[in-house]
Amino acid sequence: MTCGELLVQLLQELGVEVVFGIPGVHTVELYRALPSMRIKHITPRHEQGAGFMADGYARVTGKPGVCFVITGPGMTNIMTAMAQAYADSIPMLVVSSVGRTEQLGMNGGRLHELRSQRNLAAGVTAFSHTLMRPEELPAVLCRAFGVFHGARPRPVHLEIPLDVITTTANNIERKLGAIPNRPGPCPEDIGRAVAALQAAHRPVILLGGGAVDAGAEILALAEALDAPTACTANAKGLLPKMHPLSLGSYQSTGEVRELIKTSDVVLAIGTELGETDYDTLAFDGNFRIPGTLIRVDVDPEQLNCNFMADVAIISDARLAVQALLNRLEGSLRSSRHIGGAQRVADVRRQIAPTLPTAWRNHLRILQTLEDALPDLILVGDSTQPIYSGNFLYESSRPRSWFNSATGYGTLGYALPAAVGAKLGSPHRPVVALIGDGGLQFTLSELASAVEAKTGIIILVWNNHGYGEIKSYMQQRGIQPIGVDIYTPDFLTIARGFGCHADRAMSVDHLRNLVQTANRTDRPSVIEVLEGSSVVTGG
C-alpha cells in the first residue's frame, strides 16, 4: 500500500463520501485506491469549480468538502474558492501534490513548481501542511478534521511530495485519533451573560452562520427573552418565516440600526459583525452597538473583532444557548420588557414603504421559486436578485440559502456550488441563481453538472453585462467602461452541453418551467431577461 492509497482509505474511515478533483500526472497515485472505495469522484472542468462544489456540498451537509488538485496551477486555480470558504467559515480539505522533497524550495524550474505552495495556501486556510513522511498522515488528518468539527471550520491544505505519495505505507500505524466536538461554555461567562439578560429591558439578538445548527434552542431563547432577532444571509431559516420576533435580514437598514442602538443588551451569536452583513447599504461605517454586547463564538479571536465584547463566551452556539436557557428558566419577569414583537412590527412597518421597486420584483421571482419547489435550496452568485434576497428572502430552514455576495464576494460561484449542494442533498430541489456575467466565469461546469446527473436548475438573470457595477459607476459620475460585455446565446450553449434550456416569458411560465425541470436528473438552464414581464409582473 502506498501513502496515496492510505490517504484515500483514511478519508473513507473519516466519513468522506465525495471527492472533487481533476486528475493530473502529479496526483494519479491519489486515484489508485478510489475504484475500490465507496467514495464518489466528481470531475469539474476547472479547479475553481472543484472548490466551489466542495463549498456547496459542505454548506448543505455540514460535512467537509474534499478536493484533489495538482501541484502549481491546480492550487492557484482553487485559491479563490478556498478564500470564499475561508471568509464564510466553510470546512474544506484540499489535498494537493507538490514536488519531490529534495526539490522543494530549489527553484529549479520543475513542472508546476511554485516557490512555496504551502505558504501560498496559508493565507486562506486554518493551516497548510507538507507531509514529509507517510507516518504523519493519520495525525495530520485528525488535526484537519478537528478543525472541521471542533473549532471554527475553515479550509485545510495538505500537500504531499511526489516521492512521499508513492512511498510504501504498509507498516504505518493506521489508528485515527478521536475527533473532538466543539467546546461548551464557561459557567462563569454564562452567569455574567444571564445577569445582563435578566436586567435587560430592550434586548436584541443578532445571529450569524456560526449559529446554523442551533435553530430550536435559539427560537426558545428568543421567545424567552422576547427579543427581536436578526439573521445574516448565512443564518436565514433559524427563525420560522415571519415569526413575530424576526427582523429578517434588515440589519443594514437605518430602522434596524436604530433599534440596535436603542437596545440595552445585544446578544450576538456566531457572527463576525462584519460590514457585508451589517453595513451593505451605505458602507458608511455607522453600524453601532452602544449597549452591553454579549458575544458567543467558537473562535476566541473573533470575540473582540470589529466590536469589543462586554461578555465573551467561547463555545459552540447550540451548547451556549442551551446553557443560557437552563440558567434563565423561570427567572425572567414578563413585565420587564418593552414588547419584542411590537418593536419588530414597528420596524417592519417603517421599512415596508422604503423598499425599492426592483427589490420587490426580485422577491416575486424568489417567492415563485419557493412556492413551486417546496424545501428549496437556493444557491446564489453576486447578482442583483441575490443582493435583494439577502435582505428580503426568508428561508424555510437553515442551510437553504447561501451565496457569494457576502464575505469574499466572488463571481461564478453559484453554478458549481449548486452541483455540490445537490450531491449533498439529492432529494431536495436546488436552484443556482446567477447573472449572465457571473455565469461566464464557470460556464464550463454545465458539463460537470450533466456528467454527475445533478438535476439542478440554473436561473440566469440576464441584463447583458455587469449591471450592478454599471449602475455603481453611473451613480458616481463615472462613464461606464468594461461593463457592457458581449453576451452569448446561453440557451444554445446549454443545449450543446446536454442541458434542458428555455426562456421564461411570464411568472406562470417560470413556475411551470422549474416544476418540470425538477423532475429530471438533467440540469436545466432557464433565462430571465431583466425588464421582462417575469420581472415586472406585467
| Euclidean distance between CA atoms 485 and 300, whole angstroms | 45
Domains and CATH numbers, the chain: 3-165 (3.40.50.970), 187-353 (3.40.50.1220), 355-536 (3.40.50.970)
pLDDT of residue 228: 98
How crowded is residue 23: how many other Cβ atoms within 10 Å of its Cβ?
15
Q: Which long-range contacts (CB under 8 A, 24 or more apart) does 354-358 make?
A: 354/253, 355/392, 358/384, 358/388
pLDDT at 395: 95
- Phi/psi of residue 167, each to 5°? -65, 140
pLDDT reported for residue 520 = 96
Cell 425599492 found at? 356
Q: What is the pLDDT of residue 91?
A: 98
Cα–Cα distance, 206 to 363 (Å, whole number): 23
Residue entry with cell 421564461 = 504
Find the length of the chain: 538
Return d(Cα 493, Cα 501) in angstroms, integer: 9
The count of C-alpha atoms lying within 13 angstroms of the C-alpha of 110, restricted to the half-sphere facing its C-beta, is: 19
Per DSSP, what are the bridge partners of residue 313?
296
Distance, in Å, from the CA atom of 165 to the CA atom of 153, rounded to the nearest integer, reads 26
For the entire predicted model, the pTM comes to 0.96
Do residues 454 and 423 lie in contact, with contact meaning Cβ atoms separated by under 8 Å?
yes
Residue 44: all three cell numbers together: 469539474
* pLDDT tens, residue order, the chain (538 aa): 999 999 999 999 999 999 999 999 999 999 999 999 999 999 999 999 999 999 999 999 999 999 999 999 999 999 999 999 999 999 999 999 999 999 888 888 888 888 999 999 999 999 999 999 999 999 999 999 999 999 999 999 999 999 999 999 998 888 899 999 999 999 999 999 999 999 999 999 999 999 999 999 999 999 999 999 999 999 999 999 999 999 999 999 999 999 999 999 999 999 999 999 999 988 889 999 999 999 999 999 999 999 999 999 999 999 999 999 999 987 765 545 569 999 999 999 999 999 999 999 999 999 999 999 999 999 999 999 999 999 999 999 999 999 999 989 999 999 999 999 999 999 999 999 999 999 999 999 999 999 999 999 999 999 999 998 999 999 999 999 999 999 999 999 999 999 999 999 999 999 999 999 999 999 999 999 998 999 988 6
**Residue 336: its pLDDT value, please?**
53
- Amino acid letter, 190: I
Other Cβ atoms closer than 10 A to 331: 10
SS3 of 88-100: the string is: CCCCEEEEEEECC
C-alpha cell belonging to residue 122: 496559508
Strand ranges in 436-504 using DSSP code E only, listed in sequence order: 457-462, 500-503
